[in-house]
Structure 1
Amino acid sequence: MKTIFATLALALAAAAPATAMTTNGAAQTKIERYAPDVDVDALSNPQIASILNVIDSGDSHSDRRALVRSLVRQYQ
């Protein structure tokens, strides 16, 4: 559980660079791979950035998927 919160904190701290380098369509595609039912249009730019940072982290696929889904539930 500590790892998830540490990853979330790191993701939020580095949120701006991911948004600057990713288009909305590319972001939507990446996010939907981990959380297929998400409405990306309803998310703010900082929320999208934090999710993308989790996706681009070095954690395992299952850890990233779980954290992305958790963030999406919190944001919507």
Structure 2
Amino acid sequence: MYKLSIIDKVSLILVVIGAINWGLIGLLDFNIVEILFGDPANLIGRILYILIGTAGIDMIILFFKAKKSYK
């Protein structure tokens, strides 16, 4: 079984936050990141979106690592 590193755990949390944010945008047109940090053009908001995107890539890599460890 694959053991999650600290980076994988943080990435998982960021991906969940991103998924909840996208769900709220789709359902209610409510953007948590924009409410908390301002317009996405704001530097902090942009950095957060970049971190969430990077976390998504890390989760894809984690998926393939975990898949190989089960074989």
Given the two structures, how large is their TM-score scaled by the length of structure 1? 0.29
Q: Which structure is richer in relative contact order (CA contacts within 8 A, separation 6 or more)?
A: 2
